[in-house]
Structure formats: structure tokens, C-alpha cells
Amino acid sequence: MSFQLPLGTWVATAVDWIKDNLAGALDVISFAVTFLVDGLTFLLLLPYFFVVIAVAALIAWFVRSWQLAIGTVVSFGLIVAMGLWVPAMQTLALVLVAALVAVLIAIPLGIWSARNATVRAVLKPVLDFMQTMPAFVYLIPAIVFFSIGVVPGLVATVIFALPPGVRLTELGIRGVDSEIVEAGQAFGAKPGQILRGIQLPLAMPTILAGVNQVIMLALSMAVIAGMAGADGLGKMVVEAISTVNIAKGVEAGLGVVLIAVFLDRVTAALGTLGRNPASLLGMLARRRAARRAAAAASAPVIDTPVAKAEEKELQNA
């Protein structure tokens, strides 16, 4: 007689219990997610498409360069030319909401894990499990909880995209030089002040790299979210697969790629915000610095006794 561990049956029982006893909480989550995604989709589709393209190009120029701004106009114009504007904005809204939820969860967890060894020991296997579990598996309980639509797709996307944000936030906080932290402690700074004034600013490039990875993983889940019934380019890819429509599949896949490139370049540039000379923000910063330098050079020398004494000391030295 062979023994078989009924782990799957236990999980199914737990899912049924959650569905029967936490229906109110699931309804609240479903309403909130639907409201956010539908609201953002409405805002993206409200103006004419060229207004959204202009705003996206300005954002690209502001954080990166005018070359990226031109590439954004060309990419989004190609999406319009292929007739994919509405599903592209639906996908963009889904990705942005999922990434926002994942980041709001990941950064506090990463900070907590970096400052507490017990939390780190507990989170590590959980994050390993979340990253290695096939993404399709997340759809099964999500569909049971929330039925077909955008909500299960977003829930599965958040779970799949969460681990890199937690890991890179923890890495960034732990990578801050301990001597700098000790210097802050020596001046009497409290743990919260050290976190806000020292650790977070120094760890920000690594944290933003984690945000970039979260967004990219969220966008990679667009097709899987489409399998759960979420509108957008992912749903078009699923339809193209089911009907073996090569043209439709290629166009929808290319739309996903164009959105991914835009989001990747913009979020990657946030780590060097204000320091990139090709960006609009960098140009404005250089002009302000030049004006301050010119003002300092043309400022009149104030002939005061203190200034005379300092000049005499310099001459005697």
C-alpha cells in the first residue's frame, strides 16, 4: 500500500474556505482593482491619442533624452497605425496598477527584511517559491476567488512581479556603508531618521532598479492576464493563438514590445534623474548652475572691516 500526501487537496480545501468565509473582503478587492484599472484606462483613452503620445514623449525627454522622446512618438504612432491604441492603453493601465500595488508592498517588505534577520529568513523561501512557481498556477485560485476578468489577471501579475522589488530593496538597504550609518548614530539620529536621511537616499538607485524589474515582469504577464479574461493586448494574443491568426498575434506582440521598451527606458532613467545631461531636467539643472556661477562672479565685493582683515591675513601668510 503506497502513501500519497494529499497536498493539493489541502490547498483546494483552503481555497474553498477562503471563498466561503472571506467573500466580503474578496468583493472589496475586486471592486477596488476594477475601479483603478477601469479608471486609469478611461483617463488614458479620454483625450485624443496624440495628446497621450505628446505627454509620453515629454516624460521621455524629461527623464532621459530627446532621442527617446522621438522614439516614443514613433513607437506609439506605430501602435496607432496598427489599430491597437485601445487594447494598448488597457494593457498599460493594467501594468501600471499592478506595478504600483506590487511596489507599495515590495518596498516596505524589503526595508523590514533588511532591518530584521528573522523576517529575512522567513521571506527568503517565500520569495523563492513565488519566483519559481509557474505563473499559470496563480491564475487557478485567482479565477476561483474573482471569476473571469481583469481582477484575477492583476492579482496573478502582482504575485509574480513582487519578488524582485523586495529583493532589490533589501539589497540596497543592506548595501549602504555601515560607517555612514554609524556616523548618523553617533550624531544621535534615530533609526527612522537614519532610514529616511541616509539609507533610502543611498539605496535609491538599487530600489529603482527593483521597480524597473517589477514593471517589466508585470508587462510580461500581459498575455497570461489575457488568458484570465483581462482586456488588452494579451487577450488579443490569446485569441490569435486559439485561431492561429499569425498577423493578429504578431501585431499584438509587437505592441507589447513597444510599450515594454518605453517603460523600461523611462524607469531605468529614474535612477539618474537630474544627472543625465541629455535629459530636459539635466539641461535645466545646468542652466541654473550656470546662472548661479555668473551671479557669483559678477557680485560686488563688499569692503568691510572683516573683509579687510581677512585679506590682510592672507597677504601676511
Of 283, 265, 287, which Cα lies nearest the Cα of 70? Answer: 265
Q: What's the whole-number mean pLDDT along residues 283-293?
A: 68
Higher model confidence: residue 93 or residue 295? 93
- State the DSSP H helix or E strand holding residue 100, giving kind and residue range, or none if neither: helix 85-115
Judge whether 37 and 97 are in contact, CB under 8 Å. Answer: yes
Comparing CA positions, the residue from 212, 266, 219, 226 lying closest to residue 98 is 219
Output the nine-digit C-alpha cell for 198: 541616509
Residues 58, 64, 67, 72: is their CA dihedral positive or negative? negative
The distance in angstroms from the start CA to the end CA of the chain is 98
The domain spans of the chain are 7-46+82-273
Q: Alpha-carbon distance 112 to 3, whole Å?
A: 41
Residue at 287: amino acid letter: R
Burial of 179 (0-12, 13-18, 19+ CB in 10 A): exposed
Q: What is the mean pLDDT of residues 236-248?
A: 87
Polymer length in residues for the chain: 317
The sign of the dihedral angle between the CA atoms of 79, 83, 87, 93 is: positive
Alpha carbons within 13 angstroms on the beta-carbon side of residue 217 total: 24
Give percent above pLDDT 90 in the chain. 14
Question: For residues 219 and 211, what is the distance between their CA atoms, to the nearest angstrom?
Answer: 12
Nearest partner of 261 among 215, 222, 208, 227, judged by Cα:
215
Residue type, 33: V
pLDDT reported for residue 51: 92
Q: 184: which 3 cell numbers?
A: 548618523
**Residue 31: CA atoms inside 13 Å, Cβ hemisphere, count?**
6
Query: Comparing 59-73, 116-130, 152-166, 182-196, which segment has the lowest mean pLDDT?
Result: 182-196
CB–CB of 88/233 below 8 Å?
Answer: yes
Instruction: Record the cell numbers describing residue 42, joined without a space.
Output: 478611461
Q: Which residues contact 196 (CB under 8 A, 6 or more apart)?
A: none
Rounded-to-10 torsion of CA 293, 295, 300, 305: -60
Question: Do 160 and 134 form a contact (C-beta atoms < 8 A)?
Answer: no
Domain 7-46+82-273 in CATH: superfamily? MetI-like (1.10.3720.10)
- What is the pLDDT, as a whole number, of residue 281? 62
52-76 pLDDT tens trace: 999 999 988 888 888 888 999 999 9
- Residue 279 DSSP symbol: S
Give residue 298's pLDDT band: very low, low, confident or very high (50, 70, 90): low
% of the chain at pLDDT higher than 70:
85
pLDDT digits (tens, 9 = 90+) for 275-284: 666 666 666 6
Does residue 172 register a pLDDT over 80?
Answer: yes
pLDDT band at 273 (very low <50, low <70, confident <90, very high): low
Cα–Cα distance between 24 and 36 in angstroms, integer?
A: 19
